[in-house]
């Protein structure tokens, strides 16, 4: 099973590399990127597109980490409140039984 998983991952990596190489070969035109405050140097179109893709992926991962951290914090708080409410409920049930006796 491990061999099959490794083989599939290797094939996917190979396909991604081949697509990337083909993409780079077909997009060799030089372009300069003009941002409002900065002018980036002239480089091939494929380089700028791949850089934008990688930057977007990296920023997506960073934002996801912050979101997951926030959600885990809220989950921990909710668990503490639920535990506290359960303890209080158990205490009220026991005290109600003591009053009845």
What is the band of 88 on the pLDDT scale with cuts at 50, 70, 90? very high
pLDDT tens per residue, range 35-86: 888 998 999 998 898 899 999 999 999 999 999 999 999 999 999 999 999 9
Phi–psi pair at 47, nearest 5 degrees = -65, -45
Residue 101: its pLDDT value, please? 59
Residue 78: its pLDDT value, please? 96
pLDDT at 28 over 90: no
Average pLDDT (7-26) is 91
Residue 100: its pLDDT value, please? 63
What is the band of 1 on the pLDDT scale with cuts at 50, 70, 90? confident
Distance (Å, whole) CA 91 – CA 15? 62
Query: Do residues 46 and 28 lie in contact, with contact meaning Cβ atoms separated by under 8 Å?
Result: yes
């Amino acid at each position: 099973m491990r061999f099959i998983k490794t083989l599939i991952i290797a094939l996917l990596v190979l396909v991604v590399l081949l697509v990337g190489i083909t993409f780079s070969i077909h997009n060799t035109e030089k372009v300069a990127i003009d941002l409002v405050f900065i002018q980036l140097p002239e480089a091939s179109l494929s380089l700028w597109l791949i850089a934008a893709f990688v930057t977007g992926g990296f920023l997506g991962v960073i934002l996801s980490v912050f979101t997951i951290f926030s959600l885990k914090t809220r989950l921990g708080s909710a668990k503490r409140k639920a535990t506290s409410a359960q303890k209080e409920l158990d205490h009220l049930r026991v005290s109600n039984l003591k009053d009845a006796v």
